[in-house]
Structure 1
Amino acid sequence: MSQTDISPIRVDRIAHIVLFVKDPEASAKWYSDVLNMKIVARAGDGPYKGGVFLSFGVSDHDIALFPGEPDASRGKEFEHIGLMMAGTNMDDLRRNYAFFQERGVEIAEILDHGVSIGIYFYDPDGHMLEVFCQRIGTDDGASQAELNRNEGQANPVSPERL
C-alpha cells in the first residue's frame, strides 16, 4: 500500500446531527423537555433560517433542527452528520479536501460557521456528511456564545481559501 492509499481522514467522534423537522421550535421544546438540551442559538437569515441549535451542555451544538419541506417523504428529515476531526487545524482540513478530490468524492460545499469550517460531502448513497475543523474551543462555553452571536452563520468558502 502506497502513502497515497492511506486515508488522511482522522475522525475523532460524531460531533452533531442535523435533522429536518416539521416545526423546529416545537421540536426544540421537545428536545429540551425530554432530553434536557439547552437551546444555544436560533438561525437568522441565510440557508439555515428558522433552525434551532441545541446542546447537551459542552458543544456549540449537538443537534440542530432545520425546517423540512412540507411534503418531504419519510427519511428526508436527515440533513447531515458532522464528524469532528482528530486534527483541528486548517492544514488537516486542506489535506482532507485534497484527499476527497483525489478520490472523486462529491463535495457539496465548504462553509465557515464562525465556530468551525467544514467540508460537506456525499457518501455513495447520497447521505451528506461533514468533516470540520473546530476553530473556537468548546470547554468554556465560547463556541456556544459565538454560535448564538452569529446566529448560525454559514458563509460559503471557496476551496482556494481553505
Structure 2
Amino acid sequence: MSQADISPVRVAAIAHIVLFVKDPEASARWYCDILNMTITARAGDGPYKGGIFLSFGVHDHDIALFKSENADDKGREFEHVGLRLATDSADDLRRIYAFFLDKGVNIAEVLDHGVSTGIYFHDPDGHMLEVFHQRVSPDKGAAIAELRSNEGQADPVVLDPLRG
C-alpha cells in the first residue's frame, strides 16, 4: 500500500446527528423536556429553514432536527452524521478532500457553517456523513453564540484539494 492509499482522516468523535422529524417544534420540546437540551439556533432561511439545533450545553449542536418532507419515509430518519476531525487545520481538511477525490468518494457538497467547515459525502449505501474541522471553539459558549447569530446557515464553499 502506497502512502497515497493511506487515509489522512482522523476522527476525534461523533459530534452531532441530524434527524428528519415530522414536527421540529414538537420534537425540540421533547428533547428539551426529556433530555434537558437547549435550543441553540433556529434556521431562519435557506435549505435548513425550520431546522432546530439543540445542545447539551457545550457544543453548538449535538442534535439538529429538520422537517421530513415525507413522514412515512423509513430509512430517511437520519439526514447525516457529523464526524469532528481530530484536527483544526484547514490544510488537513483540504488534504482529506484531495484524498476523497482521488478515491472516488461521492461528495455531496462542502459547506461553511461559521463554526466549522464540513465535507458532506455518501457511503456506498447512500448514508450521508460529514467530516468537519471546528473553527470556533466550544469554550465559554463561543460556538453556541456563533451558530445562534448565523441562524444555523451553511454556505457552499469551494475547497481547493491539497495533495502531498
TM range (shorter): over 0.9
Gap regions ≥5 residues in structure 1: none
CA contact (8 A) 2:53 2:65 kept: yes
1:65 and 2:73 are equivalent in the alignment: no
AA partner of residue 103 (structure 1): K
Task: Report deviation, 1:72.
Answer: 4.1
Distance 1:71 1:10 in 2: 35
Task: Report deviation, 1:33.
Answer: 0.4
Gap regions ≥5 residues in structure 2: none
What's 2:99 paired with?
99
Mapping for residues 31-70 of structure 1, pairs under 5 Å: 31-70=31-70
Task: Report deviation, 1:8.
Answer: 0.2
Deviations 1:98-139 (A, max 9, x none): 000010000000000000000000000000000001010002
Mapping for residues 70-89 of structure 1, pairs under 5 Å: 70-89=70-89
SS of residue in 2 equivalent to 1:98: helix
Distance 1:159 1:90 in 2: 10
Task: Report deviation, 1:160.
Answer: 3.5
What's 1:133 paired with?
133
Distance 2:63 2:124 in 1: 24
2-11 or 105-114: bigger deviation: 2-11
Distance 2:13 2:71 in 1: 33
Deviations 1:13-60 (A, max 9, x none): 000000000000100000000001011010010010000000011000
Distance 1:80 1:123 in 2: 11
AA partner of residue 16 (structure 2): H
1:10–1:77 distance in 2 versus 1, CA, 3 Å: same
Distance 2:23 2:100 in 1: 35
1:9–1:161 distance in 2 versus 1, CA, 3 Å: closer
SS of residue in 2 equivalent to 1:73: coil
CA contact (8 A) 2:18 2:79 kept: yes
SS of residue in 1 equivalent to 2:152: coil
CA contact (8 A) 2:111 2:118 kept: yes
